[in-house]
Amino acid sequence: MKALISQDKPVKRLAIFILGLLIMSLGIVLVITANLGSAPWDILNIGLHIQFGLTIGSWAIIVGFLILLIAAILSKKLPQFGALLNMVLVGAFIDLFLLLPFMNTPSSLYQKWIMFLIGLIIMGYGMGIYISAKLGAGPRDSLMIVLSEKFGGSIAKTRLFMEAIVLVIGWMLGGPVSWGTIIYAVLIGRIVGWSIPQCTKWTNYILNRNERTVNNIHQHNMEQEAK
């Protein structure tokens, strides 16, 4: 484990990382189920599902693998453990949540928007939690960083270029592009911007809790001896 995760407290970090991916996947599925438009990469996965079968989660894994392969070829580096785990678990979690019997599209537009917005917030905080574990970027972020370094563009422009291409391909395959796609583009950055500092603070508290307990006990013992 320590060889794969070059961080202190690897077990705790891995647990937080997986929890974040689980929460993020729930948010993704709520957004998809609301049927008001999805994120570009989810639109691509849904489009592939419509055209070629397999589950949406399966396509998330396949596309993630291809993305990591391209990033590895361009950077001439093996993918990080976190990126590989991200690719597999997110796809598996998406399919798991989609199988839940109560995960159905609401009948009214009002309820659809509530589901969509709740899903968006959950997705953003899931991202914040898994990022706070510091086990590496996901497949899409890995490719974004490599392309930015390779061709000299900014991270923001590279991400915009990538997602625009993916959005068009997903739309051509029949993926759901609608007002929700625009709302996602406008809000997700702000939500993640709020969630990362909060989740990082929470993660640091969890990671250092045992150390604080030991220090408090040690300090208490010293005070008792002094008396």
Task: Render pLDDT for 82-140 as a digit per residue (tens, 0 to 9).
Answer: 888 998 999 999 999 999 998 999 999 999 999 999 999 999 999 889 888 888 777 88
- DSSP secondary-structure letter at 108? S
Do 35 and 72 form a contact (C-beta atoms < 8 A)? Answer: no
Point out the least confidently predicted range of 59-73, 122-136, 144-158, 168-182.
144-158
The tens digit of pLDDT for each residue in 35-49 reads 999 999 999 999 999
Quick one: which of 139, 193, 179 has its CA closest to 162? 139
Q: In the structure encoding, which two tokens stand for residue 173, read together? A: 């395959």
Phi, psi at 105, each rounded to 5°: -70, 125
Q: Which residue has the tokens 């508290």?
A: 205
What pLDDT sits at residue 191? 87
| Angle at 48 (CA atoms; ends 42, 54), nearest 5 degrees | 105
Do 205 and 129 form a contact (C-beta atoms < 8 A)? Answer: no
Do 24 and 90 form a contact (C-beta atoms < 8 A)? Answer: yes
Quick one: which of 134, 135, 121, 132 has its CA closest to 202? 132
Mean pLDDT of 206-225: 55
